[in-house]
Amino acid sequence: MLSDGDFTSWGVPGATFTNTTGLNARGDIVGRYVAGGVSHGYLLIAGQMTTIDFPGSTFSGLTSINQRRDIIGRYRMADGVTHGFLLVGFQQACVAGDPMSGTSAQPAKEQAHEMATSRPALNWPARVAMR
C-alpha cells in the first residue's frame, strides 16, 4: 500500500499468498489469502481481521467493499461452478478472532451460516444477489 509516499507490504500470517482487492475510504480492506492450499476471503477493519468464506465452498475471495460495508465476492462449490455474491452491511461487531487459527471468527461464521440457510432456493437472503 502507498500512504504519504511510503509503501507498506503485508500479508496474512501463515498464508502462502495474500491478495488485496478492495479498499474503501474508511480504510477497510478486503481480499483473499491461501493457506493449506485453500483460498479464503478476508476483511480487515481497524487492524482486526476475519475470514469470510461462503459456507460449503471450496474457494472464497472478496473483491470490493463500499462505505456501508457491502462486500462483493466470489466462491466456488465442489461442482467447480463459480458464483458471485453481495454481502450487505457487514457489521464491525462480527470481526473477531484469528484467521490463521484454522476456523473463521465465530460471529462472522454464525452470520454466514444464518445467511446461507435462510433461503433454501438461493442459499442466501433476498437482499443478497448471486451469479
Residue 73 included in any domain = yes
**109 falls within a domain:** yes
- Binning pLDDT at 50, 70 and 90, where does residue 5 land? confident
Q: Which residue has the cell 465465530?
A: 106
Residue 14 in domain:
yes
Structural domain span for residue 35:
2-117
108 three-state secondary structure = helix
Position 82 pLDDT exceeds 90: yes
Instruction: Give the long-range contacts of residues 70-74, CB within 8 A, separation 24 or more.
Output: 71/22, 71/30, 71/43, 72/22, 73/30, 73/41
Does the pLDDT of residue 105 top 70, yes or no? no
| Percent above pLDDT 90 for the chain | 48
Q: Is residue 126 part of a domain?
A: no
Our count of domains for the chain comes to 1
Asked whether residue 110 is domain-assigned, the answer is yes
